[in-house]
Amino acid sequence: MTLREILIAPDPRLKVKSEPVERVDDALRSLMDDMLETMHEAPGIGLAAVQIGVAKQVIVMDLAKEGEAPEPRYFVNPEIIWESEDFHHYEEGCLSLPEYYEEVERPAEVKVRFLDYEGEIRELHCTEMLAVCIQHEMDHLEGILFVDHLTRLKRQMILRKLSKAKKQQAAELA
């Protein structure tokens, strides 16, 4: 397994719409293994392939808390087939927007159809943190960041700060 670089906003590759995967094979499983290792190392609870520069409809997640056994989940070509009429606000963060957290309103529950690690079709009813995480990661597959759900002012402020930090880091390395 290989650690991959996580893209940081405002990297334009994060705005690319991901392509469906034709089949789950050893190469894709290797990508998912790399993604899971990268996500754990970051540390995070979810990662979309586009966040490491691979514009494929692939998501990995692990919502296990510290001290709990890992619970890796793999979602290939996920699609929401049902969402609740109830909405909840949750504070979200993102590995591609480090150190920024804001409340986002999303459906409280969703049902997702996807291919798993072995390429089998699955459906999963998601609630609470799992519902938030899958919707957040599926947004990435469409080129949408959680800050795109915020007011224009808040979004611009966060992206400006990230851009400034990126330029400062580049200047320090030069």
Per-position b or e across 88-121, b if 16+ CB within 10 A of its CB: bebebebbbbeebebebebbbbbebebbebeeee
Q: Is 137 a catalytic residue?
A: yes
Q: Name the residue with tokens 């957290």.
A: 101
For residue 48, the cross-strand partners are 59
Q: Which of 118, 137, 142, 172 is catalytic?
A: 137
- Strands 58-62 and 72-83 turn out to be antiparallel
The two structure tokens encoding residue 106? 């999303």
Q: Alpha-carbon distance 119 to 142, whole Å? A: 22
What residues have CB less than 8 Å from 7, skipping those under 6 apart?
A: 13, 14, 50, 51, 52, 53, 96
Q: Name the residue with tokens 């993102």.
A: 94
- Tell me the catalytic residues: 137
